[in-house]
Amino acid sequence: MAQVLEFKLPDLGEGLTEAEIVRWLVQIGDVVAVDQPVVEVETAKAMVEVPCPYGGVITARFGEEGTELPVGAPLLTVAVGEPAAQPEGSGNVLVGYGTQAPAARRRRVRAATTATTAPAAHNGRARAPEPTAAPSARVAAPTPVPALAEGPVPVISPLVRKLARDNGVDLRELSGSGPDGLILRADVEDVVRAKAVRPATAGETPVRAPAVAPVATAPPAEAGVRIPLKGIRGAVADKLSRSRREIPDASCWVDADATELMRARAAMNAAQGPKISLLALLARICTAALARFPEPNSFVDTEAREIVRLGQVHLGFAAQTERGLVVPVVRDAHARDAESLTAEFARLTEAARAGTLTPGELTGGTFTLNNYGVFGVDGSTPIINHPEAAMLGVGRIVPKPWVHEGELAVRQLVQLSLTFDHRVCDGGTAGGFLRYVADCVEQPAVLLRTL
């Protein structure tokens, strides 16, 4: 006899309490295998696929796409075969946090019967419908799951699937340029660009921009686009607002001659071996400065009214992505050399752009390095990444006139700024920290004294 099991939205970790359904990967009546991803959700940390720990036939789904569900709310129900013959649930929570079935086994079949998804309740919350029972003949005993004729679509990144969906691109028509035919973001972008430059032919679906609901109460001249503050964008908004409310911040800045630092990097990269990034050298300078001035590597425990000074440096760095600003964290940055820092920055940046950062890679920072110079600006007064106590900002490095050794010369100049929590350190400490950073930028040999 078939048994209907309920699969609830699992605990996503890192204090996350809810997630938004971005896209269902299965339909009611589909046959799924253990650990097959069934829904794509977006949390305040990242976009992830949720695998189902049961194998069987989907009998009900709870929540439409765009609905936010709390942790523990029902996601779907699965009709499985005889309990003795059916493997136990895997216990996995999220892709990337445990084992998962190989891609070749991820097949699904649409059953002959039809059913509807659970309707959304008032106020945008999902209302749990009565589970739709599947005919017993369909699930009386586990049967082999036949594959679709065309096989699964070779896509891993949820960002790639979303990009294709938003632009009306059928992934089944693409040939991936990645390993084993994997469809990459560049493959989808090529199709989007090609559709944009040629007129749509008969029978071809034109590229469609995501629909935006108009504001019903506003006149046409005043109507605008409403962007929900949820997911990562909402989490960033909440954190920045809290930082502004709770942290009495101040900023100081200084111009520095980065000519010698750029020469040192060029000399390092002229030798054989991995190339060293400028961000890695700046991070190495940061950790050396924090060893001399540990106050900025702290946070304030408001309940205990204590300053907690930290011994390890977990360095956050700002990364701009299509889904907004994120701050990945390099663990134990103080114990890494420039080569290791370069590799870790590259890995985390790529994961941020692909939308595959784990919650653990986005939390736990103790100090932030913000290289806003990549946007072509000289200075900024950034908001501290709560609950940290300081952030070093680096502007663009550009040639400017500068007095060098008593002579006017064209040098590579950069503006450095430190935004700090005035409860944690005063202006003298902040100035000392920033001046040491500037000295290392101007004379990289200064850094050797701390190695």
Residue 1 has pLDDT above 70, yes or no: no
Q: What is the CATH number of domain 153-212?
A: 4.10.320.10
- Per-residue pLDDT band for 203 (boundaries 50, 70, 90) equals low
**Cα angle 54-55-56, degrees, rounded to a multiple of 5:** 120
Q: What's the pLDDT at 14?
A: 56
DSSP tag of 126: B
In order of 155, 187, 417, the CA distances from 175 in angstroms are 11, 8, 47
Distance CA 143, CA 220 (A): 57
Closest listed residue to residue 55, CA positions, set 72, 76, 24: 76
- Per-residue pLDDT band for 421 (boundaries 50, 70, 90) equals very high
Distance CA 268, CA 262 (A): 10
Point out the catalytic residue in the list 11, 301, 337, 426. Answer: 426
CATH topology of 153-212 equal to that of 233-450?
no
pLDDT tens-digit series, residues 387-400: 999 999 999 999 99
Domain assignments of the chain as residue spans, ordered by start: 3-152, 153-212, 233-450
pLDDT tens-digit series, residues 257-274: 999 999 999 999 998 889
Instruction: Give me the mean pLDDT over the 65-70 stretch.
Output: 87
Q: Which residue has the tokens 């700024």?
A: 417
Q: How many other CB atoms are there within 10 angstroms of residue 417's CB atom?
A: 21
Q: What's the pLDDT at 224?
A: 85
In order of 325, 349, 368, 416, 418, the CA distances from 393 in angstroms are 15, 18, 9, 6, 6
Element (H, E) at 143: none
Q: What's the pLDDT at 354?
A: 87
Distance CA 244, CA 115 (A): 49
Closest listed residue to residue 344, CA positions, set 321, 323, 369, 324: 369
Distance CA 235, CA 357 (A): 15
Element (H, E) at 131: none
Q: Which residue has the tokens 């850094």?
A: 447
In order of 203, 314, 339, 440, the CA distances from 271 in angstroms are 57, 29, 13, 22
Q: Which residues pair with 345 in a beta bridge?
A: none
The burial of 136, by beta-carbon neighbours within 10 Å (0-12 exposed, 13-18 middle, 19 or more buried), is given as exposed
**205-233 burial: b if 16+ Cβ within 10 Å, else e:** eebeeeeeeeeeeeeeeeeeeeeeeebbb
Q: What's the pLDDT at 168?
A: 85
Point out the catalytic residue in the list 170, 301, 332, 422. Answer: 422
Known catalytic membership, residue 122: no
Distance CA 283, CA 369 (A): 7
Element (H, E) at 18: strand 18-24
Q: What's the pLDDT at 450?
A: 58
Q: What's the pLDDT at 48?
A: 79
| Cβ 334 vs Cβ 280: under 8 Å | no
Tell me which fold the domain 233-450 belongs to: Chloramphenicol Acetyltransferase (3.30.559)
Rg (CA), the chain: 27
Distance CA 319, CA 327 (A): 6
| Cβ 31 vs Cβ 111: under 8 Å | yes
DSSP tag of 336: -
- Per-residue pLDDT band for 152 (boundaries 50, 70, 90) equals low
Please give the order of strands across the beta sheet that includes 31-32: 3-8, 74-80, 56-61, 31-32
Known catalytic membership, residue 314: no
Distance CA 108, CA 58 (A): 10
Distance CA 58, CA 109 (A): 10
pLDDT tens-digit series, residues 342-359: 999 999 999 998 888 888
Q: Which residue has the tokens 């032919």?
A: 201
First to last CA, the chain: 69
Q: Domain 3-152 belongs to what architecture?
A: Beta Barrel (2.40)
